[in-house]
Amino acid sequence: MTITALSAIPTDARELSIWPASMTPLPHGGLAVGGVPLTEIADRFDTPAYVLDEGEVRGRCRTYREAFPDAAVLYAAKAFLSRAMVRWVREEGLGLDVCSAGELELAVTSGFPPERIVLHGNAKSPRDLEAALRLGVGRIVIDSPSEIARIAAAVGPDGRQKVMVRVVPGVSAGGHDKIRTGTDDQKFGLSLTDGGAQHAVTRILGQPQLELTGLHCHIGSQITDVKPYLVALRRMVGLMARIRDAHGVVLPELDMGGGHGIAYRPGEPALDLTALARRLRAELIEGCAAARLTVPRLLIEPGRAVVGPAGVALYRVLAVKHTGEKVFVAVDGGMSDNPRPALYGVRYAPRLIGRTSAAETRTTTVVGRHCEAGDVLAADVHLPGDIRPGDLLAVPVSGAYQLSMASGYNLVGRPAVVAVHEGTARLLVRRETLQDYRSRDIGV
Ligand code: LLP
């Protein structure tokens, strides 16, 4: 048991660092984000609710564009997608990385220019490819040999589609085994080491319907160190030089994927974007000079680092239980809106909001309301000892891969998404209701 501050309000810079920049402490234990008190959002929109700070998302898009002025920055839609998100990203001048017909259609029908979209996927369905060609997607990233003939045939004799090849550069990086994608022991991409990537390139170059614009790699996610990117880049440039030597083709684009790590708790490391930009650029220029290659245009695909820190999850406490040595605080959401602790062992830092507490803090496990013991949102966190039903908890850094991975487990319903900006809150995505489930469930 730890005895710390009386109030649960983060005040020092280290604690503030994981919240949106707009976060302001208010009297009586309140917190405002985007100029709107979080308690007001909970009252108005109910809980659980996901709050997205529009200014923070836009600011992060701008930070990327400033750090990578010569590169195309594509937001990875899988981290979180909604029509508003599509608009913000478009207005901030980013492109988009999608991996299904669903993400693609939502983006295009929300006004996103298709030529600024890249379609990924290790197993693209006929519907994915049909939508990509119909909507005129900018690039399709080929991930397996069988796609080459499939896409060429779907394009038809008179068409031409820009494509890239996803290469596995043999670099291991990422915050968890399940999100490491840079080595040959996982399902994505074509291998650099066994010649699969080179073979695919040769075949693509033989297809008049396909225009190979460049190579792609995505080595993993939640990476906090620049080095694996540099190693991967060096190998990708090496392959580009070999393609030039073998085929006389100089590829104009190199997509280094996303994976930029963020801090989920105060004091955790995050990837330094300025350092990444500077060192990638230097490595690219040096590597290309050594290989006498024209420097390709760089593309990057950040998802988590654009939207993760802009999101705050709000939950209402439903029950408090003391079991032996443990204190469990159960809230009105859980693994159906945030499966990440269960999947990747991610640790979050929830906060009591809406009142101050004079109680000593104690080690508490915040759990969800779902029917399994693994439904833990935050194990062994320090929260005031007098937390009780009705209290509000806010979880920062909740913008990425929570709602986009939300499920219908226990028919609890997926939470509402609320945007905050300059003192105003507005509903972006309404809460899922029983009526939604019933309208899909049409059999008897
Ligand atoms: N590009 C490609 C081809 C990707 O597969 C991904 C993520 C990204 C870009 C964006 O990566 P980011 O910058 O967001 O790390 N559900 C996991 C993360 C899975 C990432 C999948 N691919 C999580 O919650 O941590």
Where along the chain do the CATH 2.40.37.10 domains lie? 13-53+309-439
> Which of 60, 73, 78 most suits a substitution to test ligand 1, by most atoms within 8 Å of the C-beta?
78
How do strand 326-331 and strand 311-323 relate by DSSP bridges?
antiparallel
Q: If you measure from the C-alpha of residue 259 to the centroid of ligand 1, how many angstroms do you get, rounded to a whole number?
A: 6
Residue nearest to atom 22 of ligand 1 (CA): 221
Residues with a catalytic annotation lie at 371
Residue nearest to atom 6 of ligand 1 (CA): 258
Q: If you measure from the C-alpha of residue 322 to the centroid of ligand 1, how many angstroms do you get, rounded to a whole number?
A: 37
The SS3 call for residue 282 is helix
Where along the chain do the CATH 3.20.20.10 domains lie? 68-302
Query: Would you state the structure tokens that stand for residue 83, as one six-digit string?
Result: 């029509």
68-302 is a CATH 3.40.50.620 domain: no
Written out in words, the top-level CATH class of the domain with range 13-53+309-439 is: mainly beta
Q: If you measure from the C-alpha of residue 78 to the centroid of ligand 1, how many angstroms do you get, rounded to a whole number?
A: 7
The SS3 call for residue 337 is coil
Which residue is it, tokens 């105003």?
Answer: 424
Residue nearest to atom 12 of ligand 1 (CA): 259
> Does residue 302's CB lie within 6 angstroms of at least one atom of ligand 1?
yes
> Does residue 79's CB lie within 6 angstroms of at least one atom of ligand 1?
yes
The SS3 call for residue 168 is strand
What residues have CB less than 8 Å from 180, skipping those under 6 apart?
A: 172, 173, 174, 186, 219, 220
> Does residue 259's CB lie within 6 angstroms of at least one atom of ligand 1?
yes
Residue nearest to atom 8 of ligand 1 (CA): 258
Query: Would you state the structure tokens that stand for residue 131, as one six-digit string?
Result: 């939508």
Atom of ligand 1 nearest to the CA of 176: 25
> Does residue 340's CB lie within 6 angstroms of at least one atom of ligand 1?
yes
CA contacts within 13 A on the Cβ side of 61: 21
Atom of ligand 1 nearest to the CA of 223: 15
> Does residue 222's CB lie within 6 angstroms of at least one atom of ligand 1?
yes
> Does residue 180's CB lie within 6 angstroms of at least one atom of ligand 1?
no
Q: List the chain pLDDT tens, one digit each, 444 residues.
A: 333 333 444 556 778 889 999 999 999 999 999 999 999 999 999 999 999 999 999 999 999 999 999 999 999 999 999 999 999 999 999 999 999 999 999 999 999 999 999 999 999 999 999 999 999 999 999 999 999 999 999 999 999 999 999 999 999 888 898 999 999 888 999 999 999 999 999 999 999 999 999 999 999 999 999 999 999 999 999 999 999 999 999 999 999 999 999 999 999 999 999 999 999 999 999 999 999 999 999 999 999 999 999 999 999 999 999 999 999 999 999 999 999 999 999 999 999 999 999 999 999 999 999 999 999 999 999 999 999 999 999 999 999 999 999 999 999 999 999 999 999 999 999 999 999 999 999 999
Q: If you measure from the C-alpha of residue 19 to the centroid of ligand 1, how many angstroms do you get, rounded to a whole number?
A: 21
Distance CA 111, CA 107 (A): 7
Q: If you measure from the C-alpha of residue 79 to the centroid of ligand 1, how many angstroms do you get, rounded to a whole number?
A: 7
What pLDDT shows up at residue 11?
A: 57
Q: If you measure from the C-alpha of residue 347 to the centroid of ligand 1, how many angstroms do you get, rounded to a whole number?
A: 18
> Does residue 260's CB lie within 6 angstroms of at least one atom of ligand 1?
yes
What residues have CB less than 8 Å from 434, skipping those under 6 apart?
A: 411, 413
Atom of ligand 1 nearest to the CA of 400: 24
What global pTM score does this model have? 0.96
Q: If you measure from the C-alpha of residue 162 to the centroid of ligand 1, how many angstroms do you get, rounded to a whole number?
A: 23
SS (H, E, C) 142-193: ECCCHHHHHHHHHHCCCCCEEEEEEEECCCCCCCCHHHECCCCCCCCCEECC
Q: If you measure from the C-alpha of residue 255 to the centroid of ligand 1, how many angstroms do you get, rounded to a whole number?
A: 14
What residues have CB less than 8 Å from 301, skipping those under 6 apart?
A: 74, 75, 76, 97, 118, 218, 255, 256, 257, 258
Residue nearest to atom 16 of ligand 1 (CA): 401
Strands across the sheet containing 24-26: 24-26, 30-33, 36-37
Atom of ligand 1 nearest to the CA of 175: 25
Atom of ligand 1 nearest to the CA of 402: 24
Atom of ligand 1 nearest to the CA of 301: 9
How do strand 351-353 and strand 392-396 relate by DSSP bridges?
antiparallel
> Does residue 309's CB lie within 6 angstroms of at least one atom of ligand 1?
no
What pLDDT shows up at residue 14?
A: 79
